Amino acid sequence: VDIDGRTFENLELGGAAKVDVTDTTDEVIAKLTATPSVTEGGEITYTITLTNKDGLLINNHGALTFTLSDGKTVITVP
């Protein structure tokens, strides 16, 4: 058997490997900003900036769901 340019005459593979990954909950701060002013009929743009406890930006995340303090308004970001 040739593997990575090496030849093995009697290659024996062990059993299946198992890896356990334990994740922790990290504090995330969400800062909501909006267009400071608009004319009647204009559009408002909302921006949510996510940072960790050290103030570093959080990027490359999956879907996010935010529930505002009124408990009724839910925003989902795919």
Q: Tell me which range, 3-7, 33-37, 60-64, is most confidently predicted by mean pLDDT.
A: 33-37
The full set of domain ranges for the chain reads 26-78
pLDDT digits (tens, 9 = 90+) for 7-42: 888 777 788 888 888 877 788 888 889 999 999 999
What contacts 77, CB < 8 A, 6 or more positions away?
48, 63, 64, 65, 66
Q: What is the pLDDT of residue 65?
A: 84
Instruction: Indicate the pLDDT class of residue 61, thresholds 50, 70 and 90.
Output: confident
Residue 59's closest CA among 34, 77, 33, 74? 77
Alpha-carbon separation of residue 40 from 34, 56, 59 (angstroms): 16, 36, 34
